[in-house]
Amino acid sequence: MKSIFYIFTTVLLGTTAVAAHADTGECDKYKTGYDRTYCFAKLFMEADKELNTVYTELREAIKESTKQKLKETQRDWIQYRNTTCEENPGTINVDCSFRVNQERTEYLRSRLLECKAGSCRTDLIGQRSWK
């Protein structure tokens, strides 16, 4: 029971740090498009790092037979993110990328918590959770 509480607390604190930074409208205080883009780019980089960490932890927590499903689904998701957030060829909307990364991170984090709690749902790990 203590370990589940510890995991939940750690996840909550980690999520709150990135979400609080974004929810405060930190990037809204900038007047120029360049400054806003730079701000969102920094948030995106933090969110991308967190996504990779959660993905790696989930990969370590699942059985070998499920790892391929996760890998294929993650590749499909990356294609979805890139297509969704690329406004023009060669340019991306970093605000969109940040938001989409956060959604995927939360989905993978939920699967990780299920696995750590002993109820790993392999059907959800390989599911396309995005629209």
CATH number at residue 61: 1.20.1270
Domain of 83 in residue numbering reads as: 2-125
Is 10 part of a structural domain of the chain? yes
Burial class (CB in 10 A: 0-12, 13-18, 19+), 15: middle
What DSSP letter does each residue of 15-52 carry, written as one string? HHHHHHHHHTTGGGG--SHHHHHHHHHHHHHHHHHHHH
- Best CA proximity match to 120, nearest among 58, 75, 53: 58
Is 131 part of a structural domain of the chain? no
Is 98 part of a structural domain of the chain? yes
Burial class (CB in 10 A: 0-12, 13-18, 19+), 101: buried
Is 9 part of a structural domain of the chain? yes
Is 22 part of a structural domain of the chain? yes
Residues 110, 71: Cα–Cα separation, whole Å = 17
Is 130 part of a structural domain of the chain? no
Q: Is the dihedral of CA 48, 107, 21, 41 positive or negative?
A: positive
The answer to whether residues 120 and 61 touch, using CB atoms and an 8 Å cutoff, is yes
Number of domains composing the chain: 1
- What tens-digit pLDDT sequence spans the chain (131 residues)? 444 333 333 333 343 344 434 443 778 888 888 888 888 889 889 999 999 999 999 999 999 989 999 999 999 999 999 999 998 888 888 889 999 999 999 999 999 999 999 999 999 999 998 87
